[in-house]
Amino acid sequence: MARRRHLSRIAVMQVLFERERRPEADPAHALVLNEAELGELDRSFAEALLKGILKEYNAICKTIVEHAPDWTLDRMDPVSRCVLYLGTYEMLFAKDAPPAVIMNEAIEIAKEFGSDESGKFVNGVLNSMAKK
C-alpha cells in the first residue's frame, strides 16, 4: 500500500507539473497516462489528491508563500513548487497521514525529480508549516 501511495503522489506531482506547462491539458487524462507509465497506483487516493489540490489551489499557494519567506511561487524550482502543492494539501486538508510521513514523502519526491537543493527547500517550507 505504501508503495502505491508513493507512486500516486509522484503521478499527481507530474500532473501538476504538466498543468503548469500546458494549462489546457485535462488533469484526469494526464493522471491516467502517468499511471500507465508508473504502474499500479492507489487510484482513489491519487484522484482525491488531484481534485483536492485543484479545489484548494489558491489557499495552498497562499500558505506556501507564507512559509517560504522571500520566495515567490514563480521564483521556486518548478518541481519543488509542485511537490509543495502536494505536501501542503496533504498537511492542511487531507490529514490522512501524519505530518512526518507527508514531509518524508515530499522530500523523497523532491530529491528524486528536482534539483540538488529541492529536498532541503521542500523540507524547510513543510517543516515551517508543521510547526504551526
Q: Kindly state the cell numbers that stand for 4.
A: 502505491
pLDDT tens digits along 49-83: 999 999 999 999 999 999 998 899 999 999 999 99
Is the separation of the CB atoms in 46 and 11 below 8 Å?
Answer: yes
Cβ neighbours, 10 Å, residue 82:
25
What is the mean predicted confidence (pLDDT) over 85-101?
93
Residue 24 or residue 55, greater confidence? 55
pTM: 0.92
What structural domains does the chain harbor? 2-131 (1.10.940.10)
